[in-house]
Amino acid sequence: MADLGFWKIAAADPDRLAVVDAEEKPATFAELCAASNQVAHGLRAQGLTRGDAIAVVLPNETAFLELYLAATQIGLYITPVNFHLTGPEIAYILGDAEVKVFVAGERYGAAAAAAAAEAGLAPEACFGVGKVGGFRAYEELKSGQSADTPEERSAGQTMLYTSGTTGRPKGVRRPLPDADPDTAAALSSMLASLFEVEAGTGVHLAAGPLYHAAPLAFGTGALHMGQGVVLMDKWSPERTLEVIEKYRVTTSHMVPTMFHRLLALPDEVKARYDTSSLRNVIHAAAPCPVDVKRKMIEWWGPVIYEYYAATEGGGTYVTSPEWLDHPGTVGHGVHGLGDRWLRVLQRSGEDGERSPRRPVHRR
């Protein structure tokens, strides 16, 4: 696992492309690492210690990744908040998560300012990317801070809120890993190996909002595998094809609605763009109609991977060839995932027995 983990890669290959934002401004691994280190020092200067929480209401932009990387190397919880929520809804999350620092984007400034006031957050603990009334400029969090690696590093954790329940959203607060950030990053990035994503190569397209669990996990996982990440602020089908061709995108995480809208483009538009760079397009979140998936495989090739029910703690998984053999299947159950996970561990020098795999069909 020595070649995995954002911080190790930044040290070994600092000039490698790390991120391209929605305005197409690039940053290298060294630049993103330096900025996230400044944020980490800035958060500590705010008095945050291991186990404390921060929250962000941001679009897909580089600052989001800076904050994530900062929090997860100094033992903090980071809560990405759905930017469609109202002020009172955001305020509830800020209070429930016991947030110590809040960062919001200008686009959501009104709701963020109302939320901070309702939650009783001090103005000095609130930072705005762009102009947010009553918030300090985000750059103040980094200003004067060292770009060097923080001392006494420890792995942090994402704390997500789920609305798939009755009543108010529930926070999923897992114990912090008892590991250094590099080890935790390497282990988390191994998940992508289950989808046959190769470490050290490729470009990942972050097509969905990072406040969602899967786009954030796969986007940050790509960084930990050494891939560059192209951020889309607002998704559109033709723009997706433009980005795939321009940046030679190899991996992405999508949902069936995106497939439907991509297929709805006129044939002459679809033919205009080269998508041959794609290697791993992973989808989930909703059932994918058989005809839609078949057409996507015919168009992009056998690069479509599906998983199902991962939030429930197990899940299924299926490759394109397996799906073509069993159209409509959502793949192998927990045993299948375990089998692939064991193969990943075996490639890392661990031993284990293989588990049987059985296709699981939708009813």
Within-domain flag for 102: yes
The domain containing residue 307 runs over which residues?
A: 235-361
Q: Does position 342 have pLDDT exceeding 50, yes or no?
A: no
**Percent of all residues in the chain with a pLDDT value above 70, rounded to a whole number:** 87
Within-domain flag for 220: no
pLDDT of amino acid 143: 95
Within-domain flag for 258: yes
Q: From residue 185, how far is each of 94, 221, 243 by CA, in Å?
A: 26, 8, 27
pLDDT band at 285 (very low <50, low <70, confident <90, very high): confident
- One domain for residues 168 and 241: no
177, 201, 225 - which closes a domain: 177
Instruction: Report the helix count and the strand count for the chain, using DSSP H and E.
Output: 14, 18
Within-domain flag for 211: no
pLDDT band at 189 (very low <50, low <70, confident <90, very high): low
pLDDT band at 190 (very low <50, low <70, confident <90, very high): low
Smallest CA-to-CA distance from 360 within 320, 308, 313, 297 is with: 308
- One domain for residues 168 and 305: no
Q: What is the CATH number of the domain that holds 352?
A: 3.40.50.980
Within-domain flag for 204: no
Q: Does position 258 have pLDDT exceeding 80, yes or no?
A: yes
For the chain, the domain total comes to 2
Q: Report the first-to-last Cα separation within the chain, whole angstroms.
A: 40
- One domain for residues 131 and 245: no
Flag whether the pTM goes above 0.95: no
DSSP-assigned letters across all residues of 51-75: T-EEEEE--SSHHHHHHHHHHTTBT
Which element (helix H / strand E) includes 308?
Answer: strand 304-308
- One domain for residues 150 and 249: no
Tell me how far apart the alpha carbons of residues 148 and 133 are, in angstroms, rounded to a whole number: 31
Within-domain flag for 60: yes
- One domain for residues 170 and 37: yes
- One domain for residues 289 and 163: no
Within-domain flag for 16: no
- One domain for residues 155 and 254: no
177, 192, 225 - which closes a domain: 177
- One domain for residues 248 and 111: no
Strands 359-361 and 157-158: unpaired
Within-domain flag for 306: yes
Smallest CA-to-CA distance from 149 within 266, 32, 38 is with: 38
Average pLDDT over residues 78-97: 96
Q: What is the CATH number of the domain that holds 75?
A: 3.40.50.12780
pLDDT band at 294 (very low <50, low <70, confident <90, very high): very high
**Who contacts 98 (Cβ-Cβ below 8 Å, separation ≥6)?**
52, 53
- One domain for residues 37 and 162: yes
Asked which of 251-265, 283-297, 333-347 is least confident by mean pLDDT, the reply is 333-347
DSSP-assigned letters across all residues of 164-198: SSSSS-EEE-PPPPSS-HHHHHHHHHGGGGGGTPP
pLDDT band at 339 (very low <50, low <70, confident <90, very high): very low
Asked which of 122-136, 192-206, 310-324, 335-349 is least confident by mean pLDDT, the reply is 335-349
**Who contacts 64 (Cβ-Cβ below 8 Å, separation ≥6)?**
56, 58, 80, 210
- One domain for residues 47 and 113: yes
- One domain for residues 280 and 355: yes
- One domain for residues 173 and 242: no
Asked which of 76-90, 143-157, 263-277, 337-351 is least confident by mean pLDDT, the reply is 337-351
